[in-house]
A and B are shown apart, each in its own frame.
Chain A
Amino acid sequence: MDIDAARLIAMAIAAGLGVLGPGIGIGLIGGRAMDAIGRNPDASDKVVSNMILAIVFTEALGILALVVSFIIKFVG
């Protein structure tokens, strides 16, 4: 296997596996937030802003994996 092919496979694995966890996490966050809004619709403003904050933190991990995959592909 030459180095370019290895690089492509490594990039795909890094990006694909890296977004797996954040995907599950964002699903859990969104689901729980919907639960909370369903129980107490008056608090939806607070819940939604906190939900977006939590989603951004979770998403950052996936983005980190994406950056690593770009570095594998394009640097060196």
Chain B
Amino acid sequence: MEQHGLHIALSAERLGTLFGLPIPNTLVSAWLVMLVLIITAFVVGKKPRLVPGPVQNFFEMIFEFVIGYMTDIFGNRERALKFFPFVATVFLFIATSNLFDFIPLFGSVGLFHNGEFTPLLRPVNTDLNVTLALAIIAVLTIEISGIVVVGALRYAGKFFNFTSPLNFVVGLIEFVSEMSRFISFSFRLFGNIFAGEVLLAVVSYFMPYVLPVPLMAFETFVGIVQAAVFAMLCLFFIKLAVTDPHGSTHSPQAGH
């Protein structure tokens, strides 16, 4: 779209290949995010002290809040602690990568390749591959935790129920809605972040320097909220999956 002066690329630009695998610029920024997270984890978790300093205090406060919230959801602290690493990792990765969207290097530093400008870093979640990978990880975790906690046969009985035609249809609908989570998870995150990027590009074309600033603040808020929503949806769906299915063919001692 060079003739309009507005460059919007739906897919991530390819920087090069490594052993035949393409290296898009979102992957590079994902590595940067991971590096920052790992360094933070090392610095914070290196020497946990009984009387915490300010940094340790900050993280402990957040983690206590999240664990408390998850305990409310599960009604069980042990189970909350079991699923806490996954949910917190998802939240931290998405939130950090969304916070990185607007630091100066992103989208402005790049290389010229055959006369075409390719930015070296691109906001991580503006690539459908990243969000789809996150969605696949989330859905697999949900399904596997359901199978492990409830048991394979009973969990499958939620979807394939032959007690009556009505139950069979309901189970099929349940199955389809379970599978549609791939799409809803991935497109929600991708759409929000990508639409924010496009909005900023369009707005800075109309009214440079002035209008993008409040919108950037709003998009930062949206990014944090989207990370929280992704993690909370994982949490709710895990909770749904590990709860014994009602109206199952064989649930004489259902605890709930």
A residues in contact (CB < 8 Å) with B = 52-53, 56-57, 59-60, 63-64, 66-67, 70-71, 74-75
Contacts and interface: CB of A to CB of B under 8 A. Distances in A.
B192 A52 contact: no
B195 interface: yes
Interface stretch (B43-51, B153-161, B183-191, B241-249): B183-191
B61 interface: no
Contacts of B10: 70-71, 74-75
B225 A64 contact: no
A71 B192 CA distance: 14
Given A53-B232, A60-B184, A64-B191, A70 B198 contact: yes
Nearest to B190: A67
Contact of A67 (B191, B225, B232): B191
B1 interface: yes
Task: Sort chain B's interface into a size bin.
Answer: 10 to 19
A66 B195 CA distance: 7
Contacts of A67: 187, 190-191, 194-195
Nearest to A52: B225
Given A60-B192, A70-B198, 17 more contacts: A52-B225, A53-B229, A56-B225, A57-B229, A60-B187, A60-B191, A63-B187, A63-B188, A63-B191, A63-B195, A64-B191, A66-B195, A70-B8, A70-B10, A70-B195, A74-B1, A74-B10
Contacts of B225: 52, 56
21 contacts: A52-B225, A53-B229, A53-B232, A56-B225, A56-B226, A60-B187, A60-B191, A63-B195, A64-B187, A64-B188, A64-B191, A67-B191, A67-B194, A67-B195, A70-B8, A70-B194, A70-B198, A71-B10, A74-B1, A74-B8, A74-B9
A21 to B, nearest CB: 15
A60 B131 CA distance: 14
Contacts of A57: 229
Contacts of B9: 74
B191 A56 contact: no
A70 B226 CA distance: 20
4 nearest A-B pairs in the assembled complex, by CB-CB distance:
A63-B191, A60-B188, A67-B191, A66-B195
A13 to B, nearest CB: 17
Of B194, B195, B226, the most chain A CB neighbours within 10 A belong to B195
A63 to B, nearest CB: 4
Interface in B9-37: 9-10
Contacts of B198: 70
B231 to A, nearest CB: 12
A71 B194 CA distance: 12
